[in-house]
Structure 1
Amino acid sequence: MAVVVVSGRRVLVIDTATDAIVTGLVTVRAGGVDEVSSRTVVDHRRHAEMLTTLMRECLTESGWRGVDVDAVVVGCGPGPFTGLRVGMATAAAYGDALGIPVYGVGTLDAIAAAAARGSQARSILVVTDARRREVYWARYADGRRVGGPGVSAPAVLQAELAAEPVDLIAGGAPPHWAGGTEPASRNPGRPVVDVAPDVVGLASVIAPALLAGSPPDPLVPLYLRRPDAVELADQKKKRGS
């Protein structure tokens, strides 16, 4: 069966896998992805409270109605359990209500795409805060993911960096990335840029599938480890046994 490539798509974009609540509207065409309206608010405690409000603001600003949206793109992590499920549940509900496809993308892939814009870096390491003094990470070479996503102690990842240097570190590494010092001081010559996932980067990752009208894969959250609530329950069971 021939693949039909449409001229363009109006897309709602959501990501709550990091401390940043990201949402907005983009148009996806063969020539690229154009931002129409977006909001990014850094507040890891208010994902559920703020997301739908920010979505409404973007629709109002753009002049679009909900029924004008052709598809939804949502970041699937890796990220903390609570924040990540807010965005994914909202995206799934929105798509179900309107009968439109919902495409999941890797949040680290979107950060890499955002970091690569306007950069000459051929190799990128994306690092985000996984809490518990750990980081989520993924490596990219010439626009392709070549390692990860994974979750590691910063010291483990930094040891690997010494053996396999990269041109650019992106994603807003947390303070414990370098034992309380800036990561640049431990990685001389490797620029470190604080990049959150953005609506253009998120949509760019899945743009070919959007334009081809390919059916989306099932939404699968990428936690990389069990949520705190499960671990706490397990600890209580062990104490009671």
Structure 2
Amino acid sequence: MKLLAIDCAANLCAACVYDAGAGIELGRQVLDLGKGHAEHLMAVIEAALKAGGIEYRDLDAVAVSIGPGSFTGLRVGVSTARGLALALKIPGIGVTTLEALAAEAANAFPGRSVLAALDAGRDELHAAFFDEALGLTYGPAVVTPSEATEMAVKASAVLAGTAAPQIAAAAGDSFDVGPIAATADIATYARLAAVKGPGERPKPLYLRAADAKPQAGFILPRQEHDRPVGDAGRKES
């Protein structure tokens, strides 16, 4: 099976082609953008395909990082993956950023449980806990730093993700730490997707609502005719 993997969950705009049968990466393209994934993703995909000597028609599946991560980046990546899967009549496979980071930590520290956590701001973390066999036992969920620290200490877990240093410092203890980035290497997503195989169509994993809200000046006042009809809302004759 030849698989295209896409990641726009964080600062990277990344794609790679992976041969699951041979267990090798055929080609990749990675840009560190921060923003602007929508403008660059198709060019990144085409560069990865060219590097791997692969055409779109040669693909058997499309994998994509589904978050937690950037709201805009996730929408771009997931919608592109679903569009390609539909057009090519092949499966789309979603992989969370937390399980990808945990997989890299488990590779560095085999046989250990892993707590993968991302700093979400507002004194919140996006976290998931994985057992020694990399099975998901908790999350993904929004937790406080103290809750994450308690989980890590109780299980003597390996830490991964952007919140790993914060958790280790709060515990005042030494922890083994895997990747501390906001996302994993693009080939990790490809390998995990190849193991997962087809399932539900990928969709963005949002653990909390978007930060953007309508400005007060653009909120229309409620009109009189919008009031409920009934004893409480009926005008006197």
Higher RCO (CA < 8 A, seq sep 6+): 1
By how many angstroms is 1:133 displaced? 4.2
Higher strand fraction: Structure 1 or Structure 2?
Answer: 1
**Structure 1 residues 218 and 83, CA, compared in 2 at 3 Å: closer, same or farther?**
same
User: Which residue of 1 is the match for residue 200 of structure 2?
Assistant: 217
User: Which residue of 2 is the match for residue 186 of structure 1?
Assistant: 170
Q: In 2, distance between residues paired with 1:51 and 1:123?
A: 34
The answer for unaligned runs of 5 or more in structure 1 is: 1-8
**Structure 1 residues 78 and 235, CA, compared in 2 at 3 Å: closer, same or farther?**
farther
**Structure 1 residues 199 and 87, CA, compared in 2 at 3 Å: closer, same or farther?**
same
Q: In 2, distance between residues paired with 1:184 and 1:65?
A: 45
**Structure 1 residues 136 and 236, CA, compared in 2 at 3 Å: closer, same or farther?**
farther
Q: In 2, distance between residues paired with 1:237 and 1:161?
A: 45
Encode CA deviations 1:120-142: one digit per residue, 9 max, x unaligned. Answer: 35111111232444321111112
The answer for unaligned runs of 5 or more in structure 2 is: 223-237
Where 1:87 maps in the other structure, the secondary structure is helix
Alignment of 1:67 with 2:57, yes or no, is: yes
Count of aligned positions: 218
Who wins on radius of gyration, i.e. which is larger? 2
The aligned amino acid for 2:191 is: S
**Structure 1 residues 227 and 217, CA, compared in 2 at 3 Å: closer, same or farther?**
same
Alignment of 1:151 with 2:134, yes or no, is: no
Q: Indicate if the aligned counterparts of 1:17 and 1:75 stay in contact, CA closer than 8 A.
A: yes
Q: Which of 6, 9, 29 lines up with 1:17 in the alignment?
A: 9
**Structure 1 residues 41 and 137, CA, compared in 2 at 3 Å: closer, same or farther?**
farther
**Structure 1 residues 129 and 36, CA, compared in 2 at 3 Å: closer, same or farther?**
farther
Q: Once superposed, what is the RMSD of the aligned Cα atoms?
A: 2.7
TM score, norm. by length of structure 2: 0.79
Q: Which of 187, 190, 214 lines up with 1:200 in the alignment?
A: 187
Q: Indicate if the aligned counterparts of 1:124 and 1:167 stay in contact, CA closer than 8 A.
A: yes
Where 1:135 maps in the other structure, the secondary structure is strand
User: Which residue of 1 is the match for residue 124 of structure 2?
Assistant: 134
The aligned amino acid for 1:57 is: A
The aligned amino acid for 1:107 is: T
